[in-house]
Structure 1
Amino acid sequence: MNSQKGVTLIELMIAVGILAIVVAIAVPNFQSMIQNNRLTSAANETLGVFQIARSEAIRANRRVILAFNATPDITADEAHIVVFVDTDRDGTEDAGERVRSLLLSSDSLALAAVDGGGNAMTQVGFQPDGRTVNSATMTASVCDDRNRGQQLVLRASGQSRLTGAITCP
């Protein structure tokens, strides 16, 4: 008897069809996962910059400013967040004062900061003891183009933390 081993053309076509269905279901979920990871990464990096600013104020025993820019001009060396030691206490960055800058990793991400009263903030300062200048309490939101975001809360004590996912306006 002559027995052949292998698959028929029909069996192969059924397997390819099942594979196509699985891929069609998985690809959108994978893209969503990538967008969620970018958002979480940007929020964690923003939190890290807040912590660096506070640490630098304590280490240098000087006032440190964390300035926000919602729409930076990348060609002019601007960033979403700039941290600088405010040696002359004028609230603006001068030559040689910059400690760190953060440019969010994707054009689809945006940063907004508001104080406890809901007013937009352009900067927050840290005193040499790590507390915020003028006991400022604020929230910063990192949002993407899907109106999903992560919120960061900065307390007057200078401590910052991520509060989790939010729906952006």
Structure 2
Amino acid sequence: MLQATYQKGFTLIELMVTLVVLAVLLSIGVPSYVEWIRDSRLDTATRSLASALKLARSEAVSQQSVITVRAGMEGDAANWAEGIHMYTDEEPAGNTNYAAGTDALIKNINFAMDGITLVSNAGEHTSFSNEGLLRDDVNPATFRLCDARSEGNLISINVVGRISVAPAGDCP
């Protein structure tokens, strides 16, 4: 009587079917993952800037003084995407210049906005009054964050200082 011998392992057909299924799953999953990463970067940049602006408004009310948020880090050109420095502004109208002798620095915040452009109608700075109101000439102050896919978010600050985030409809 013959005994059946079983071999352990995969047949060539089983291996090929597995590779085809894996290739199909990767072709569907990898682009979705890349898209998710891009969405996450845009959302993180938007939340970082919105949180910094909300902190500035909160500090203005709690300290009962004008708080200015200036684009760029100290000594840098005014670039909102690089970061901001936030300070108590001794000038009642708020201004773009940080004077170490009279203005009290509250916080420097660096942003990681790789591949994201940020355009603002607020110029180099935006200020909040001691009541949390927007002290700028523009109303609303807007910050448009866009990525390479022309996807984006819009941060708006209305005259009463309310900060809102919405999808940006027209990214370049």
Task: Place the TM-score, normalised by the shorter chain, in its bin.
Answer: 0.7 to 0.9
Q: Which moved more, 1:155-164 or 1:131-140?
A: 131-140
Structure 1 contact 46–102 (Cα < 8 Å) conserved: no
* Runs of 4+ deviating beyond 6 Å: none
Q: TM-score, normalised by structure 2?
A: 0.80
Aligned pairs (5 A) from 1:148-159? 148-159=151-162
Among 68, 89, 94, the alignment partner of 2:99 is: 94
Structure 2 contact 82–113 (Cα < 8 Å) conserved: no
Structure 1 contact 151–164 (Cα < 8 Å) conserved: yes
CA RMSD for the aligned pairs?
Answer: 2.6
- In the alignment, the residues of structure 1 paired with residue 120 and residue 135 of structure 2 have an alpha-carbon distance, to the nearest angstrom, of 16
Structure 2 unaligned segments of length 5 or more: list them. Answer: none
Letter in 2 for 1:147: S
- In the alignment, the residues of structure 1 paired with residue 109 and residue 116 of structure 2 have an alpha-carbon distance, to the nearest angstrom, of 13
Instruction: Establish whether residue 23 from structure 1 lines up as the match of residue 26 from structure 2.
Output: yes
- In the alignment, the residues of structure 2 paired with residue 160 and residue 112 of structure 1 have an alpha-carbon distance, to the nearest angstrom, of 16
1:134/1:9 CA distance change after superposition, 3 Å: closer
Q: Which moved more, 1:9-18 or 1:149-158?
A: 9-18
Instruction: Establish whether residue 57 from structure 1 lines up as the match of residue 60 from structure 2.
Output: yes
- In the alignment, the residues of structure 2 paired with residue 145 and residue 102 of structure 1 have an alpha-carbon distance, to the nearest angstrom, of 24
Bigger helix fraction? 1
Q: Which moved more, 1:140-149 or 1:94-103?
A: 94-103
Q: Residue 133 of structure 1 aligns to a residue in which SS?
A: coil
- In the alignment, the residues of structure 2 paired with residue 31 and residue 40 of structure 1 have an alpha-carbon distance, to the nearest angstrom, of 14
Query: How far 1:129 sits from its partner (Å)?
Result: 0.7
Instruction: Establish whether residue 36 from structure 1 lines up as the match of residue 43 from structure 2.
Output: no
Name 1:83's counterpart in structure 2: 86
Among 47, 53, 58, the alignment partner of 2:50 is: 47
Name 1:117's counterpart in structure 2: none
Structure 2 contact 82–112 (Cα < 8 Å) conserved: no
Query: How many residues in Structure 1 have an aligned counterpart in Structure 2?
Result: 160
Output one character per residue of 1:101-120: Cα deviation in whole Å (capped at 9) or x when no partner. 33321321222112xxxxx5
- In the alignment, the residues of structure 2 paired with residue 143 and residue 62 of structure 1 have an alpha-carbon distance, to the nearest angstrom, of 33
Q: Residue 69 of structure 2 aligns to a residue in which SS?
A: strand
Q: TM-score, normalised by structure 1?
A: 0.81
Q: Residue 43 of structure 1 aligns to a residue in which SS?
A: helix
Structure 1 unaligned segments of length 5 or more: list them. Answer: 115-119
Among 103, 124, 127, the alignment partner of 2:126 is: 124
Structure 1 contact 83–98 (Cα < 8 Å) conserved: yes
